[in-house]
Structure 1
């Protein structure tokens, strides 16, 4: 069944590009296997000379077809990003804010196993590096190594 499934995939227009992968590769639509085995209108009116001329024309237009497919794909990605970003709640912190820091699996205490805390802190925001990156320090003033992304921080309310 695999050859039939692959053939169907290559002959079906994709939602992102609005074109078939076969047409983007070769510049022409593929004939489905049933058209090859049985006589169809497409095969009855076949003219080899006219077909060669149209193939040459299609090859000239192939770059434009691929550019148009790329535009469709980028528009699809932008729609998906817009849909995703509409649900994202942006976080920003100012210097001096108290925050929790997400403890990754490597920082969790192994003796607690399941009941280990997921957030550690509190820490103070020492510097806002823009683009969602922050330098942290402990409440004693000792700097925390590396920068931290806003997705790994949340406000600490005392």
Structure 2
């Protein structure tokens, strides 16, 4: 089953490149086994070509392979930027605390300044100075004066 899985992988368009791996290597799309039994429009068009014309078209496609690879590279870079933006929008950035893991990070009453989905909360002191690090909402207890 591995050859069939590899054929499916190499003949499918990948989101990251916008092209099939087969076309980036060989400059043309792969001929699927089903297209041999039931000819597609592409196979019928190639069957009507003279051998010299078919060779000329294949040579022109090979000349354009560098352009296709460059286009796939640009598409891949745009894809990575989109994924990075989506990841950064969902991740709450936390700077490491230099006081050590056993020290008290919060002391005294606080006011909830901002809440985020997922249970993160930004706290501020009673004099409205904001703490830099977010806190998990499960670690907060209600303060009764």
TM-score (norm 2): 0.60
Does residue 7 of structure 1 match 2:10? no
Q: What residue ranges of structure 2 are gaps of 5+ in the alignment?
A: 105-132, 135-145
Between Structure 1 and Structure 2, the one with more helix by share is 2
Partner of 2:78: 75
Q: What does residue 21 of structure 2 align with?
A: 21
Query: Conserved in 2, the CA contact under 8 Å of 1:99 and 1:121?
Result: no
Structure 1 Cα separation of the partners of residues 44 and 94 of structure 2: 65
CA distance in 1, matches of 2:71, 2:41: 30
Deviation of residue 18 (structure 1)? 0.8
Matches within 5 A, 1:65-104: 65-91=68-94, 99-101=98-100
**What is the 5 A alignment of 1:42-61?**
42-45=42-45, 46=47, 47=49, 48-61=51-64
Please report how far the alpha carbon of residue 55 of structure 1 lies from its aligned counterpart in structure 2 after TM superposition.
1.0
Residue 62 of structure 1 and its aligned partner are, at CA, apart by: 0.7
SS of aligned partner of 1:28: coil
Length-normalised TM-score, structure 1: 0.56
Distance 1:65 1:99, change over 3 A: same
Root-mean-square deviation over aligned CA pairs:
2.7
How much does 1:92 deviate? 5.8
Partner of 1:37: 37
Q: How far, CA to CA, are the matches of 1:69 and 1:11 in structure 2?
A: 15
Distance 2:85 2:95 in 1: 20
